[in-house]
């Protein structure tokens, strides 16, 4: 099994990797397929199903779908150009993707939130259609946004069959598909998890490209965090949630150096690092999936804590952190899920916490068995966590939850580093338990905003 570090960590836009980035990517793929057809389309249409329908407006799925059909992609999207395209569509009811001419698209008519009919392949399903001059559908494709910005067509999902694991299987020197295989290969080769992951990445990229890509990932993470730490105000969406990271950051800086500061204040630092990222995500800013947008704050918060607060930490070890974290994220995605719509928030913040715990454990000198132990502790103590965003927005409880996920990650790594790597529950067992728990979890607790906090607190 191989999943690139640059698939786990993708640069995109908020507020959701599965509900914003995924539909935009799906629309881009649809346009590419439409360009290969022998006929000329006159219009476009889209229908959203399952979780994409129930929480799509709160997650800006409508906006993302329109922008995707206009030709925008998450990683390269220019905010000003996107706003101009949306304004033009509101005025003209036309989209003009490159190479396809002007296509009729009236969001009020052609963008359908289908709350009644879920698609069979995944909770995040959408149908994209091209129409002729009479409005009849002449080309259609079904897409599933399966978490973390990953997208599959109906045919691709069917080809996977009953095996829900998500591996493409290129030939790599260390094709571990489980934590047990990862540890066995590490012991046999004498390499760390990060070293094995780098060897796998080298099949596709040079060392220089890998390192430059990882530096780019961290730069976008840090820039996002810095924006969040400097920006106040009210988040969009109607809940009137105040941004808090900037004010708390200012207070913490004012307290720096005070002799009587309580030791637990370090948790506040970790929390605001994560909250800053997720406030930016909620505002639609540029973020890095880690492994998703809804959990984007955990890994960068732990990196920032490690670099700014741990003696001896150095950005020279950043590659080791990110490669190790990506290895764990790949295992979770391969054997369970990173989608809140599929397995609840245990699959998002739980996965992110496990990744961050593994990364900091490795960066602080942990052995492969200690790294695996750190990831297991973090994931185990997120098992059963539901995804119940109030009003379908990635704000409550998502923003604070990232802060607590970062704290759990650091605690898990610290416990693992205090041991010798031997422990009772294997990471593979925690991952499988998460998959089974997600399968058994009621849909109202899986990113539909039909249960939990979403129905028990005022949301308007």
> What does the pLDDT look like over 382-391, one tens digit per residue?
999 999 999 9
Contact indicator for 56, 392 with CB cutoff of 8 Å: yes
DSSP 241: P
pLDDT higher than threshold 60 for residue 1: yes
Contact indicator for 180, 428 with CB cutoff of 8 Å: yes
Neighbouring residues of 76: CB distance < 8 A, sequence distance ≥ 6: none
Tokens of 45: 């249409």
What do you get for the CA distance between the two ends of the chain, in Å?
Answer: 45
Q: Which pLDDT score is estimated for 258?
A: 81
Cα Rg for the chain, rounded, in angstroms?
A: 22
Contact indicator for 407, 294 with CB cutoff of 8 Å: no
Is the whole-model pTM more than 0.85? Answer: yes
DSSP 381-395: TTTT--B--GGG-S-
Q: Which pLDDT score is estimated for 460?
A: 58
Domain with CATH 1.10.4100 in the chain: 179-456
Beta strand 43-50 with 124-131 is: antiparallel
Model confidence pLDDT, tens digit, residues 147-178 = 999 999 999 999 876 554 544 456 999 999 99
Tokens of 260: 């009587």
Phi, psi angle pair for 296, to nearest 5°? -70, -15
Q: Which pLDDT score is estimated for 166?
A: 45
Contact indicator for 301, 274 with CB cutoff of 8 Å: yes
Contact indicator for 121, 142 with CB cutoff of 8 Å: yes
Tokens of 207: 């060392």
Phi, psi angle pair for 152, to nearest 5°? -130, 145
pLDDT higher than threshold 50 for residue 333: yes
Helix H or strand E segment including 362: helix 349-363
Beta strand 111-114 with 43-50 is: parallel
At the topology level of CATH, where does 179-456 sit?
2-methylcitrate dehydratase PrpD (1.10.4100)
CATH assignment of 14-160, among 3.30.1330.90, 3.90.1150.10, 3.40.50.1220, 3.40.50.300? 3.30.1330.90
Q: Kindly state the average pLDDT of the residues 298-326.
A: 97
pLDDT, mean over the chain = 95
Tell me how far apart the alpha carbons of residues 344 and 448 are, in angstroms, rounded to a whole number: 10
Q: Kindly state the average pLDDT of the residues 172-191.
A: 98
Domain with CATH 3.30.1330.90 in the chain: 14-160
Tell me how far apart the alpha carbons of residues 382 and 346 are, in angstroms, rounded to a whole number: 5
Tokens of 139: 């080309």
Q: Kindly state the average pLDDT of the residues 375-395.
A: 97
Residue among 173, 201, 143, 186 at smallest CA distance from 369: 186
């Amino acid at each position: 099994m191989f999943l690139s570090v640059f698939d786990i960590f993708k640069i995109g836009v908020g507020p959701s990797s599965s509900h914003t980035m995924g539909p935009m990517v799906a629309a881009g793929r649809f346009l590419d397929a439409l360009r290969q057809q022998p006929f000329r389309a006159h219009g476009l249409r889209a229908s959203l199903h399952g979780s994409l329908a129930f929480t799509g407006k709160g997650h800006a799925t409508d906006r993302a779908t329109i922008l995707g059909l206009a030709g925008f992609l998450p990683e390269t999207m220019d905010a000003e150009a996107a706003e101009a395209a949306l304004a033009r569509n509101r005025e003209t009811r036309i989209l003009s993707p490159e190479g396809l001419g002007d296509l009729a698209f009236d969001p009020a008519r052609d963008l359908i939130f289908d709350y009644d009919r879920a698609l069979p392949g995944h909770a995040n399903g959408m149908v994209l259609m091209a129409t002729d001059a009479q409005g009849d559908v002449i080309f259609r494709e079904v897409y599933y946004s399966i978490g973390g910005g990953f997208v599959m067509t109906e045919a691709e999902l069917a080809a996977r069959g009953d095996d829900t694991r998500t591996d493409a299987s290129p030939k790599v020197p260390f094709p571990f598909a489980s934590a047990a295989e990862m540890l066995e290969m590490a012991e046999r080769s004498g390499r760390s998890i990060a070293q094995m992951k780098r060897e796998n990445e080298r099949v596709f990229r040079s060392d220089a490209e890998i390192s430059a890509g990882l530096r780019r990932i961290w730069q976008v993470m840090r820039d996002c965090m810095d924006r969040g730490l400097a920006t106040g105000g009210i988040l969009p969406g109607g809940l009137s949630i105040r941004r808090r990271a900037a004010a708390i950051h200012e207070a913490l800086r004012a307290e720096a150096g005070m002799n009587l500061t309580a030791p637990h204040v370090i948790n506040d630092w970790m929390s605001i690092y994560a909250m800053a990222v997720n406030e930016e995500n909620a505002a639609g800013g540029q973020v890095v999936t880690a492994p998703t947008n809804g959990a984007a704050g955990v890994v960068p918060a732990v990196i920032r804590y490690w670099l700014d607060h741990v003696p001896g930490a150095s950005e020279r070890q950043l590659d080791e952190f990110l490669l190790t974290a990506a290895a764990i994220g790949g295992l979770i995605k391969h054997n369970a899920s990173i989608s809140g719509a599929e397995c609840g928030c245990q699959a998002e913040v739980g996965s992110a916490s496990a990744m961050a715990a593994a990364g900091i454990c490795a960066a602080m000198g942990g052995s492969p068995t200690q790294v695996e132990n750190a990831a297991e502790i973090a994931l185990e103590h997120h098992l059963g966590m539901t995804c119940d965003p109030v009003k379908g927005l990635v704000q409550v409880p998502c923003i604070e939850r990232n802060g607590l996920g970062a704290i759990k990650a650091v605690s898990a790594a610290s416990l693992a580093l205090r041991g010798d790597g031997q422990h009772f529950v294997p990471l593979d067992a925690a991952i499988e338990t998460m998959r089974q728990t997600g399968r058994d979890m009621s849909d109202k607790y899986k990113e539909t905003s039909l249960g939990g906090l979403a129905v028990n607190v005022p949301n308007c």
